[in-house]
Amino acid sequence: MRTRLLLLAAIALVALAPVLPGVPPFWITLLSNIGLASLVTLGLVLLTGVGGLTSFGQAAFCGFAAYTSALLTTRYGFSPWLTLPIALSVTAFAAVVIGLITVRLSGHYLPLGTIAWGISIFYLFGRIEMLGRHDGLSGIPPLSILGMSLIDPKAIYYVIWFFVFAGSIATLNLLDSRMGRAIRALRGGRVAAESFGIDTARLKLIVFVYAAVLAGLSGWLYAHYQRTVNPTPFGLNAGIEYLFMAVLGGAGYVWGAIAGAFVVTLLKDVLQRVTPLIFGELAQVDSIVFGALLVLCLQFAPRGVWAFIRRLAPANSAPDIADAPALPKRDIAATGDALLSVEAIRKQFGGLVAVNDVSFGVKSGEIVALIGPNGAGKSTTFNLISGVARPTSGQVRFAGRDVSSASAQDVARLGMARTFQHVKLLPEMSVLENVALGAHLRGHAGVFQSLARLDRADEAKLLAEARRQIERVGLAEHMHKPAGSLALGQQRIVEITRALCLDPRLLLLDEPAAGLRHFEKQQLARLLGQLRTEGMSILLVEHDMGFVMDLTDHIVVLDFGSKIAEGKPEAIRQNPAVLEAYLGGVA
Amino acid sequence: MIDPIILLFLLQDGLTNGALYALLGLALVLVFTVTRVIFIPQGEFVAYGALSYALLETGRVPGTIWLLVAMGVAAFAIEAITRGSRMTGREWTTAAVLDLGLPIAIAGLTLAFASKTTPALVNLLLTLAMIAPLGPYLYRIAFQPIADSTILTLFTTAIGVHLAMTGLGLALFGAEGLRAKPLTDASLPVGPIVLTGQNIAVYLATAALIIGLWLFFERSLYGKALRATAINRVGARLVGIRTSLSGGLTFGLAAGIGAISGILIVPMTTIYYDSGFLIGLKGFVAAIIGALASYPATAIAALFVGIAEAFASFYASAFKEIIVFMLIVPVLVWRSLGAVHDDEEE
């Protein structure tokens, strides 16, 4: 509530600025420029700060929209408002084409790619005859509303800031939604996200296009505000400047976009007015200062200005998670039916056979353990089953389907949920949000519904389900804490809770008891036992023999990639081959 | 049908540029393998080298020497602030000599020697002496404090350094472009085309540097230390290699290579304060094709980039830059397909 008040105060301040007595006109110009830059930076916050995709080419997308509108209004007499959807469509189309290539680039290849097309598009604008080459296009008509021309800087100022606030609120809505959680998982949580059915490649493309459309909106406004366009503001330097704003403001925070745009635009203006007095006309002190500041900011304040401002603001109280109708549940097969069958799967890495023609099965309502010494191929087997890796040969059948070559997303959709040996939670997201990520496939709200806040009923069901699962495992008091702040044992439970949110037929647990204290292990065993009574099937990899022996119905033993034994716990305890593998034949 | 003379001429032009891009590409690979920095400011060292040399030729003193002194002082200050309390007397002396004494000596020499009659070789050495140390200072100031952060953070820092160095370039050299006299007027007719002395100097310098780098990395202890750092920073530190030293050394080599490229290119084309960026980026295209790892692949790719550029500027001059930079995209896609990036690295 208090943040909402702050937001209203900010809007009021922006609305009153032009009518306050004594505000010089160039302040309004400056504020309009800040608004235009904020829109582009807002896209970067989502793309780079949240999604982890660094782009130096955003200015090019402003150019697509600006040139589209400039051309259509000056050459073909279109009305500026009519060109808005056209300009944004052109930008979005360009973003899809460029994005299809770009988002596939990995690691540092991605920003390099954005530099390459950023420069190329800039040159392209300057070489096309129809776009006026280096001189660009001028005589662009101003916007008008109800026949009233918005040629006055104060009038367009309101239009610009209307879009800035609308864009910011829409972006906040998006981040606080089912799709938003998935977007926040892109950075550092890709493998986990895919294991819960999130199509990360498609999601990256969506974020890329979203950021481009915001940049396009800024470009369209720019064209009708400056009423002339040329290639310069759409070049690589402008793109670098936008990224600088995002980093300085605090990539990752929506309001950081405005903070960054504010500081950089203001600084640039001051430097451009002050430096000629000291250094003469030539010096480009702004770029020296910006470059140095960017370096300093990365060294001393990598989270940007907004991280500091946020600390001053009152913290939001944790929202109450209201009860909501339960999500529909999957039909569970009758206990004893075959659920998972692994038939002679094999995985070779070059000459190394990590998994050597292993076969076993999991029946519905059964807990099966996969055990073996270090390097026995347990985790690889897990990855083959869950679609993270593909078997070289052999077959995995799950719920009546061949999933040998299915992706992690497809396997999740069929009802297989997993945890990871090295906990893969998003440390800065709350426990609740991490767990709700598990229910991703059970919700339906898409990007547009989220932007317009039409996803609330759907979202309430997901969060209520997450809350129910958290309460069930006894972590209710930690629900709103960042997942990274919990002890390792609790984090493992959070991972299991997230997996439960998928409403799985089969739970795959990779060393769930590792790092747990004795008491926690007992709790975990009780939880898993309870799940079994409810009809859940579980396959787990585990080192703790006591834990495995007491809990499981069936044990499969691997050694050097091959299955050496399987059977009931009591039989395994006495199996000579197993004793040999574990104790080196001493027994 | 293409006129064979034109074809040969374009090839020669392309090979000359390609050889220069190869030099830069090699420096980029060197910096990346040792420090993981994608060294965008490489091009600025080219422009600084070219313009400093051209100014010296006209008998003027380049402002580069003051930048050198300032950066030396800054590096010294940072060293003193961050490590001062733990430094021995000997370390203080080393730091003072390298960070303060050296730049002042180079500035003094430049002031003493700068005149219209100074031989080209002296100018060349002076230029090299004032540019190469900028590398280690830059590393100390901007990169060493964040040496262990992600590739992306280092990359964004490199972009910041590029921005600052371009602005400084304008302040130091002005907006006017400069061009220098060729190192030699000799020429060698080969069939229908004529190789100028400058062409030959470019080929020789590239070949010498490639051989030099190879010897350095294969034969010298320092070279082996750098390679060890590239493969495993922590491991290198454990066996007693000072990784910060490797970083500084690498940046020095890269800055020196940049300066040499600048000196070689400025007699062939007019260089402006911001010309370096595009030249450096073309070296980049080559380095990326070589996956930022392979020296021979980078050198060959650079020749290819040079030739592609020569042909593009002849047949579609308006779209030359676009063609050259779009070359990188398929390579990036291809490289990404092969790369395994874990969540932790992102």
Q: What share of chain B is helix, strand, coil (3-state, %, to 5)?
A: 75, 5, 20
Distance CA B284, CA A109 (A): 12
Q: Chain B partners of A115 at a C-beta cutoff of 8 Å?
A: 281
Q: Is the ipTM of this complex over 0.90?
A: no
Place B339 in a pLDDT band, splitting at 50, 70 and 90. low
Closest Cβ opposite residue B335 in set A109, A116, A287: A109
Q: Provide the b/e sequence for A252-263 (b: ≥16 CB within 10 Å).
A: bbbbbbbbbbbb
Closest Cβ opposite residue B332 in set A109, A285, A290: A109
Average pLDDT, chain B: 86
Q: Chain B partners of A279 at a C-beta cutoff of 8 Å?
A: 171
Rounded average pLDDT over B48-60: 94
**Residue A489, amino acid:** G
Domain interval for residue B276: 20-180+192-298
- When mean pLDDT is compared over A279-283, B53-57, B205-209, the highest value belongs to B53-57
Please state, as a whole number, how many other Cβ atoms lie within 10 Å of the Cβ of residue A227: 17
Give me the pLDDT at residue A133, please: 87
Place B152 in a pLDDT band, splitting at 50, 70 and 90. confident
Place B149 in a pLDDT band, splitting at 50, 70 and 90. confident
Measure in Å the smallest separation between the Cα of A427 and chain B Cα atoms.
13
Distance CA A159, CA B156 (A): 33
Asked whether residue B238 is domain-assigned, the answer is yes
Token pair of A2, please?
């208090």
- Is B170–A244 a contact, with Cβ atoms under 8 angstroms apart? no
Distance CA A368, CA A506 (A): 11
Q: Chain B partners of A291 at a C-beta cutoff of 8 Å?
A: 160-167
Give me the pLDDT at residue A280, please: 62
Q: Which residue has the tokens 């500091």?
A: A308
Distance CA B106, CA A65 (A): 52
**Which distant-in-sequence residues (6+ apart) come within 8 Å of A259 by Cβ?**
A248, A249, A250, A253, A304, A305, A306, A309
Query: Does pLDDT of B345 surpass 60?
Result: no
Give me the pLDDT at residue B236, please: 80
Neighbouring C-alpha atoms within 13 Å toward the C-beta of B104: 7
Give me the pLDDT at residue A315, please: 62
Give me the pLDDT at residue B65, please: 94
Asked whether residue B86 is domain-assigned, the answer is yes
For the ranges A383-387, A464-468, B8-12, B226-230, the lowest mean pLDDT is seen at B226-230
Residue A394's H or E segment, with its range, is strand A393-398
Token pair of A241, please?
């400047």
Q: Are A306 and A255 in contact, with CB atoms under 8 Å apart?
A: yes
Which residue, A565, A438, A547, is CA-closest to A499?
Answer: A438
Measure in Å the smallest separation between the Cα of A460 and chain B Cα atoms.
30
Closest Cβ opposite residue B156 in set A189, A191, A294: A294
Q: Which residue has the tokens 């996956």?
A: B291
Judging by DSSP bridges, how do beta strands A352-363 and A338-349 pair with one another? antiparallel
Q: Which residue has the tokens 């050097």?
A: A560
Q: Provide the b/e sequence for B259-292 (b: ≥16 CB within 10 Å).
A: bbbbbbbbbbeebbbbbbbebbbbbbbbbbbbbb
- Is B284–A240 a contact, with Cβ atoms under 8 angstroms apart? no
Asked whether residue B13 is domain-assigned, the answer is no
- Is B163–A287 a contact, with Cβ atoms under 8 angstroms apart? yes
Which residue, A252, A226, A272, A265, is CA-closest to A37?
Answer: A265
Q: Are A284 and A332 in contact, with CB atoms under 8 Å apart?
A: no
Please tell me which residue of chain A has the smallest CA distance to B158.
A295
**Residue A490, amino acid:** Q
C-alpha distances in Å from residue A84, one per residue of A66, A143, A176, A220, B306: 10, 11, 27, 7, 42
- Is A108–B284 a contact, with Cβ atoms under 8 angstroms apart? no
Measure in Å the smallest separation between the Cα of A292 and chain B Cα atoms.
6
Q: Which residues does residue A508 pair with via DSSP β-bridges, in sequence order? A: A418, A539
Query: Does pLDDT of B42 surpass 90?
Result: yes
Q: Chain B partners of A188 at a C-beta cutoff of 8 Å?
A: 343-344, 346
Asked whether residue B306 is domain-assigned, the answer is no
Higher pLDDT, B219 or A70: A70
Give me the pLDDT at residue A1, please: 56
What is the domain count for chain B?
1
Choosing among A125, A287, A290, A424, which should be mutated to test the B contact, i.e. which has the most B CBs within 10 A?
A287
Choosing among A56, A104, A119, which should be mutated to test the B contact, i.e. which has the most B CBs within 10 A?
A119
CATH 3.40.50.300 domain residues, chain A: 332-415+505-587
Q: Chain A partners of B167 at a C-beta cutoff of 8 Å?
A: 283-291
Which residue, A325, A314, A45, is CA-closest to A174?
Answer: A45
- Is A284–B281 a contact, with Cβ atoms under 8 angstroms apart? no
Please state, as a whole number, how many other Cβ atoms lie within 10 Å of the Cβ of residue A248: 27
Asked whether residue B60 is domain-assigned, the answer is yes
Higher pLDDT, B259 or B5: B259
Give me the pLDDT at residue B343, please: 42
Q: Chain A partners of B139 at a C-beta cutoff of 8 Å?
A: none
Q: Chain B partners of A293 at a C-beta cutoff of 8 Å?
A: 160
Q: Chain B partners of A112 at a C-beta cutoff of 8 Å?
A: 38, 284, 288, 328, 332
Distance CA A438, CA A421 (A): 17
**Which distant-in-sequence residues (6+ apart) come within 8 Å of A294 by Cβ?**
A244, A247, A248, B156, B157, B159, B160, B163
For the ranges A217-226, B125-134, B224-233, B316-325, the lowest mean pLDDT is seen at B224-233
Asked whether residue B307 is domain-assigned, the answer is no
Asked whether residue B116 is domain-assigned, the answer is yes
Q: Which fold, A332-415+505-587?
A: Rossmann fold (3.40.50)
- Is B322–A283 a contact, with Cβ atoms under 8 angstroms apart? no
Q: Chain A partners of B66 at a C-beta cutoff of 8 Å?
A: none
Closest Cβ opposite residue B166 in set A120, A123, A287: A287
Query: Does pLDDT of B176 surpass 90?
Result: no
Choosing among B272, B325, B342, which should be mutated to test the A contact, i.e. which has the most A CBs within 10 A?
B325
Choosing among B39, B146, B336, which should be mutated to test the A contact, i.e. which has the most A CBs within 10 A?
B336
Per-residue pLDDT of chain A (587 residues; tens, 9 = 90+): 567 788 888 889 888 888 888 888 889 999 999 999 999 999 999 999 899 899 999 999 999 999 999 999 999 999 999 999 999 999 999 999 999 988 888 777 888 889 989 999 999 999 999 998 889 999 999 998 888 888 888 889 999 999 999 999 999 999 999 999 999 999 888 889 999 999 999 999 999 999 999 999 999 999 999 999 999 999 998 998 999 899 888 878 899 999 999 999 998 888 888 777 666 655 577 788 888 888 888 888 888 888 888 777 666 666 777 778 888 887 776 677 788 999 999 998 888 888 999 999 999 989 999 988 888 888 889 889 998 888 999 999 998 889 988 888 999 999 999 999 889 999 989 999 999 999 999 999 999 999 999 999 999 999 999 999 999 888 899 999 999 999 888 899 999 999 999 999 999 999 888 888 888 888 889 889 998 988 899 999 988 888 888 889 999 998 888 898 898 988 888 888 888 877 665 44
Q: Chain B partners of A427 at a C-beta cutoff of 8 Å?
A: none
Which residue, A382, A381, A385, is CA-closest to A398?
Answer: A385
Query: Does pLDDT of B117 surpass 90?
Result: no
Question: Helix H segments across A452-575?
Answer: 456-472, 488-501, 518-533, 545-551, 569-574
Choosing among A106, A187, A242, A423, which should be mutated to test the B contact, i.e. which has the most B CBs within 10 A?
A106
Asked whether residue B319 is domain-assigned, the answer is no
Q: Which residue has the tokens 């070589």?
A: B290
Query: Does pLDDT of B224 surpass 90?
Result: no
Q: Which residue has the tokens 């230390």?
A: B225
Q: Are A390 and A405 in contact, with CB atoms under 8 Å apart?
A: yes
Distance CA A64, CA A66 (A): 6
Distance CA A215, CA A94 (A): 12
Give me the pLDDT at residue A317, please: 64
Q: Are B4 and B10 in contact, with CB atoms under 8 Å apart?
A: no
Judging by DSSP bridges, how do beta strands A367-371 and A554-559 pair with one another? parallel
Measure in Å the smallest separation between the Cα of B326 and chain A Cα atoms.
7
Q: Which residue has the tokens 């290198």?
A: B236
